[in-house]
Chain A
Amino acid sequence: MAAASARPLRVLLAKLGMDTHTVGITVVAHALRDAGMEVIFTGLKQTPEAVASAAIQEDVDVVGVSSLSAGHTRNLPKLARLLREQGAGEKLLVAGGVIPPEDLPLLQSAGFARIFTMGTDTREIVAYLRDWWAARAANDTPS
């Protein structure tokens, strides 16, 4: 058994910029906790710099950003870049909220592995994170 999957997945959930919509991120936080994950919330109105440093300080495996305003095209790529620059490029980056389909390529090329658009079933998010964690654990296992 790999060391990674022996402990619970640690997830940082973040809100960037002026966007104060919290229902979606709250529901996701509860669903992830119910699924046995450790969830840390940054609070509202954070800068990409503050979220990157919280992700590193809290040593999380996953950073999930909720975005329900137009800030995602600037804030999200900036967060991804900051994490890479600070040697934290191995963390899984995901996002969710109101994100138009035409912006998906931009976010994916910036380093976001998956974008959960509005109306995504929380069970789908849990399953995605579990699969990623299991795959990470398998890769970590010395053969």
Chain B
Amino acid sequence: MSRPVNRVPPSAEAAPSADAAQEARRWERETRAPYIVSHPERRAPFQTQALRWPIKPLYTPADLEAEGFDYQRDLGFPGEYPYTRGTQPNGHRSSLWTMSQVTGFGRGEDWARRARYMLGQGLQGLILEHDLPTTNGYDSDNPLVEGEVGRAGLAIDSLEDVERALDLPFEKLRYLMSVCNAPQPINLAMIIAALEKKGVDPRRFVLHIVNGILIEYTCVGRYIFPPAHGLRIATDCIEYIIREHPNWAPISIISAQLQPAKANPVQELAFSMAIALAYIDATLARGLTIDTVAPYFHFVVNVDMDFFEGICKLRAYRKLWARLMKERYGAQRPEALRIRMMTSPTTIALTLQQPLNNIGRLAIMATACALGGAGEAMTTPLHDEAHALPAEEAIRVGAALQHIVAHETGVADTIDPLAGSYYVETLTKQIESAAHAELDKILAMGGALRAIETGYFQRALGHEQYERNKDIEEGRRKWVGVNHLVLPGEQRQIEIFRADNRTEEEQVARVRALRARRDAAAVSAALEAVRAAARAGTNLVPPCLAAVKVYATHGELCDALREVFGVHTPDSQLTGV
């Protein structure tokens, strides 16, 4: 005897559209409406966290019809256009995402020690953050940066510092990401020169340079030169890497920096894409083709606590990129259409109050990243990050969280498991359409560079920052420990990483000693070559490489470029303040 089969009647399988909408209305009228008379809703209105879009009580096939949802056109299959269901044909069933964490502080050897510890904990990727003097283009002994040396990241004054930092077991390292946007050609040159001196084959791992200067102007603030020069410098680095180190990654659009500046998912997607298109157009103007250039673009995307906004944003990201590359640029190669993405739980959801709660938040956000399609890599911030320099225990917990999500929840065991959810598909499509419309608006005003130069991005974010803060102050958004379940009299720990005078003093002594013993004539000739290239519009990386090898310092090289390019000094109009 065969097993009885629950056959679905053919009429339900075909789901005629009039019925779906009609049935949903009937349910609302007959079942839900009478119920909420006696059980009023606990919140009015229900809305998504960042977009503040209304959330319906129920999503049904009628919503997909209203959005014009079409399986093949909107989703397709994993590893196939438009990649909504993921860029990999087998999701995370063949390999998990690369698990990584951010680190960076102190002197070269301090960073290397922490990096070796992290590589020993099962992490394969490292992110190198520089201190503020370095990212803003000053040497450690510049009077402007007193007290900031080695604090928020690694202090780099010369090639010597990079040589100390890159004292690593390269066999365990899959990728190294380096964040140093405004002075990127100098940073890139120092890393290349250090690898050469150590005899490390640059093909054995992937160096990602973030090279994200346009987002610095938009919201982060670590810019030096005026925006048009910033774009040219970034393009020099992209071009150099594509031509000289084709296995490396020359550009990351850190949408994860727009998000803490309170870009909502639509702005985040539209601004990131507009910024990506600005770099692409500049790189194409150097004579490279879209099929060569597009595969190098890499995105880092945060997920916040609104589970569905986060998941749908990741899905919309993949689709929008694929559509833009195909429809706007006529890209042909699948590699050009498949977005390369790293995801991360956001730090702005973490609270100073009741810091252990942050472990829960991180687990939820990491799960959302995995459900949205984690991308090539995931990086988790640490639960004590809101108040202190991360302790080693927090690093261990952060790494474990990703393993828990990957191995214990099952979310990575089937591909794009939330596909087909009426809510998820509706929100994915709404986010994509709204982002596409916002992108068209930005392109109509002349693109990302113009949007920065006129302050459009900055003002839009400033407005969003104010509104989102009001949501919390006025209690529309409940935030545990901040405005909900507040522990009376909780002693909030605010530990700021005190300027370690020894680090700063040593760093200052080192750079001064270096200047005294190096070949001064070679340095000034090398700096002049950098100025000449800056004026001539030729690629800045080769002359920077020559200059760092004779130990021109980071600050000297930035000064040489300041002399040619000038500096960016925006007022309120341009900052959104």
On whether the beta carbons of A100 and B219 are closer than 8 Å, the reply is: no
With A26-B462, A119-B352, A121-B473 given, can you name 14 additional A-B contacts, CB distance below 8 Å? Answer: A18-B136, A18-B144, A22-B219, A22-B577, A26-B577, A29-B572, A43-B570, A43-B571, A44-B221, A44-B570, A45-B221, A47-B144, A98-B494, A100-B495
The 5 closest A-B pairs by CB, nearest first: A20-B221, A18-B132, A30-B466, A41-B577, A41-B572
B482-495 interface bits toward A, Cβ cutoff 8 Å, 1 = contact, 0 = none: 10000000000011
Interfacial chain A residues near B145, Cβ < 8 Å: 17-18
Q: Which of A23, A43, A98, A117 contacts B261 (CB 8 A)?
A: A23
Chain A residues with a Cβ under 8 A of chain B: 13, 17-23, 25-27, 29-31, 39-41, 43-45, 47, 69-71, 73-74, 98-101, 117-119, 121-123
**CB of B222 closer than 8 Å to a CB of A:** yes
On whether the beta carbons of A22 and B221 are closer than 8 Å, the reply is: yes
On whether the beta carbons of A41 and B575 are closer than 8 Å, the reply is: yes
- Quick one: which of B417-473 are within 8 Å of A by CB? 461-463, 465-466, 469, 473
- Quick one: which of B70-97 are within 8 Å of A by CB? none
On whether the beta carbons of B465 and A23 are closer than 8 Å, the reply is: yes
On whether the beta carbons of B466 and A27 are closer than 8 Å, the reply is: yes
Interfacial chain A residues near B139, Cβ < 8 Å: none
15 contacts between A and B (CB under 8 A): A13-B577, A18-B136, A18-B145, A20-B132, A22-B575, A26-B461, A26-B577, A29-B462, A29-B572, A40-B572, A41-B575, A43-B569, A69-B496, A74-B146, A98-B494
- Quick one: which of B226-282 are within 8 Å of A by CB? 260-262
**CB of B334 closer than 8 Å to a CB of A:** no
Once bound together, how far apart are the Cα atoms of A74 and B151, in whole Å?
15
**CB of B502 closer than 8 Å to a CB of A:** no
Chain B residues with a Cβ under 8 A of chain A: 132-133, 136, 138, 144-148, 151-152, 219-222, 260-262, 352, 461-463, 465-466, 469, 473, 482, 494-499, 569-572, 575-577
Q: Which of A31, A39, A73 contacts B466 (CB 8 A)?
A: A31
Knowing A26-B577, A69-B132, A100-B494, say if A20 contacts B220 (CB, 8 Å): yes
On whether the beta carbons of B221 and A123 are closer than 8 Å, the reply is: no
Q: Is the interface of B mostly helix, strand, loop or mixed?
A: loop
Residue from A43, A99, A118 whose CB has the most chain B CB atoms within 10 Å? A43
On whether the beta carbons of A122 and B462 are closer than 8 Å, the reply is: no
Once bound together, how far apart are the Cα atoms of A69 and B496, in whole Å?
8
Interfacial chain A residues near B572, Cβ < 8 Å: 29, 39-41, 43
Knowing A69-B152, A119-B352, A122-B469, say if A17 contacts B144 (CB, 8 Å): yes
Interfacial chain A residues near B571, Cβ < 8 Å: 41, 43
Interfacial chain A residues near B148, Cβ < 8 Å: 17-18, 69-71
Once bound together, how far apart are the Cα atoms of A44 and B146, in whole Å?
16
Once bound together, how far apart are the Cα atoms of A27 and B494, in whole Å?
21
Interfacial chain A residues near B220, Cβ < 8 Å: 20
On whether the beta carbons of A26 and B466 are closer than 8 Å, the reply is: yes
Interfacial chain B residues near A44, Cβ < 8 Å: 221, 570, 575
On whether the beta carbons of A118 and B494 are closer than 8 Å, the reply is: yes
Once bound together, how far apart are the Cα atoms of A40 and B572, in whole Å?
7
Q: Which residue of A lies closest to B482 (CB)?
A: A119
Tell me the smallest distance from the CB of A41 to a CB of chain B, in Å: 4
On whether the beta carbons of B496 and A100 are closer than 8 Å, the reply is: yes
On whether the beta carbons of B494 and A117 are closer than 8 Å, the reply is: yes
Interfacial chain B residues near A18, Cβ < 8 Å: 132-133, 136, 138, 144-145, 148
Once bound together, how far apart are the Cα atoms of A109 and B88, in whole Å?
61
On whether the beta carbons of A26 and B147 are closer than 8 Å, the reply is: no
Once bound together, how far apart are the Cα atoms of A27 and B260, in whole Å?
13
Once bound together, how far apart are the Cα atoms of A44 and B144, in whole Å?
13
On whether the beta carbons of A19 and B132 are closer than 8 Å, the reply is: yes
On whether the beta carbons of A27 and B465 are closer than 8 Å, the reply is: yes
Once bound together, how far apart are the Cα atoms of A58 and B50, in whole Å?
36
Once bound together, how far apart are the Cα atoms of A20 and B222, in whole Å?
7
Tell me the smallest distance from the CB of A17 to a CB of chain B, in Å: 7
Tell me the smallest distance from the CB of A118 to a CB of chain B, in Å: 7
Interfacial chain B residues near A43, Cβ < 8 Å: 569-572, 575
Interfacial chain B residues near A98, Cβ < 8 Å: 494, 496
Once bound together, how far apart are the Cα atoms of A26 and B464, in whole Å?
10
